[in-house]
Amino acid sequence: KKKIAVMTSGGDSPGMNPAVRAVVRMTIHMGCDAYCVYEGYEGLVQGGDFIRKMEWDDVRGWLSEGGTLIGTARCMAFYERPGRLTAAKNMILSDIDALIICGGDGSLTGADKFRSEWPSLLEELVGNGELTAAQVKPHQHLNIVGLVGSIDNDLTGTDATIGCYSALARICEMVDYIEATASSHSRAFVIEVMGRHCGWLALMAGVATGADFVFIPERPREHDWKEDMADVVRRHRKLGKRKTIVIVAEGARDKNGTKITAEEIKKLLADKSEGGLALDTRITTLGHVQRGGTAVAYDRMLATLQGVEAVKAVLDATPETETPFIAINENKIVRKPLMQAVAETKKLAEAVDSKDFEKAMSLRDSEFED
């Protein structure tokens, strides 16, 4: 009987609980034993009570629970080999055969590293006498499957990550609330949303709320943004619009790579000097409300279908199989090579950091091959 464990790691996102529920129940449905590792990699390093067997009823009602009920953590120890060595030992002591990890690109990078090191970790554990050859023998191969849990929709290779549509829905709801005040008082609002390297939330929220202007990290304007924004806002006001909504991603930059802040935008909108817009302007930083709350129906469905696929991928895996993650492409749930997606995602973030925006945009647009 295979023993399949699931964990959530890195930043929480709505839909993680539905993903865990799907993995646990599909595992049991397939005649295997289901386990949860609590508190992300910290639980693997701690072992013992952090690794718990799960029954069908243990995940009842989890579709409508926000956050992650099995906890998540940032685990410094797992960055280092000794931490991963302890994690490997704990997995063998718990007899776990496969690990399904729901997290962001950091967590998935850690997962891939763990798998590639696995044979040498086992060798070391036997070599230093922590485990016997007989104990490690049934665990020669470690199967790992990734599920992408992130509100930012920031992993290359999948159309949507678990949680991104919930965060987007939350942002739109908040903008709707703010709009009531904005149009009543004829005010301007600068709304800061999450997204350090990835402007998906800001961009889609702009489309979904009909914002006047949007700033994202990947694609600064060629022209001076101050002039561009002022022109657009002035034109919209002339057309009779009583509210102005500007959405700015946390990581928004100008063409020189300098961060564009909500304060700067506000200053421009509120500028009372001659020719200035002179709008009564407020800033709203949405912060963690974007991560909270229950998942929207789309994320529950995505998490459930992907959780089921993750268990299937574990059961299909051979020692030669590349570590996969579960994606959605053109509305189909598919398996893709994990490391390629993580590498592409890193390249994109690096391109944004090094102000190579042309490269960032081409990476954003290019879909790597299956």
The contact set with ligand ADP (CB under 6 A) reads: 9-11, 41, 74-75, 78-79, 103-107, 109-110, 113
CB nearer to ligand ADP: pick between 10 and 337:
10
Task: Go through the chain and tell me how many residues it has.
Answer: 370
CB nearer to ligand ADP: pick between 62 and 78:
78
Minimum distance from CB of 198 to ligand ADP (Å)? 12
Residue number of the CB atom closest to ligand ADP: 106
Q: Which of 248, 142, 241, 128 is nearest to 194 (CA)?
A: 248
One of 152, 154, 212, 299 is an active-site residue; which one? 152
Strand order in the sheet with 244-249: 213-215, 244-249, 188-193, 281-285
With 0-12 CB in 10 A as exposed, 13-18 as middle and 19+ as buried, what is 162?
Answer: buried
Asked whether 32 and 95 are in contact (CB, 8 A), the reply is: no
Asked whether 153 and 140 are in contact (CB, 8 A), the reply is: no
d(CA 216, CA 201): 9
Active-site annotation holds for 370: no
Minimum distance from CB of 96 to ligand ADP (Å)? 18
d(CA 24, CA 1): 14
CB nearer to ligand ADP: pick between 33 and 117:
117
Rounded-to-10 torsion of CA 345, 161, 169, 171: -30
Minimum distance from CB of 147 to ligand ADP (Å)? 11
d(CA 183, CA 305): 41
CB nearer to ligand ADP: pick between 75 and 252:
75
Minimum distance from CB of 339 to ligand ADP (Å)? 12
Helical residues (DSSP H) of the chain, grouped into ranges:
16-29, 40-46, 81-93, 105-127, 133-136, 164-185, 200-209, 225-238, 262-270, 297-316, 338-353, 357-365
Asked whether 163 and 149 are in contact (CB, 8 A), the reply is: yes
CB nearer to ligand ADP: pick between 10 and 199:
10
Minimum distance from CB of 196 to ligand ADP (Å)? 11
Q: Which residues are catalytic?
A: 152
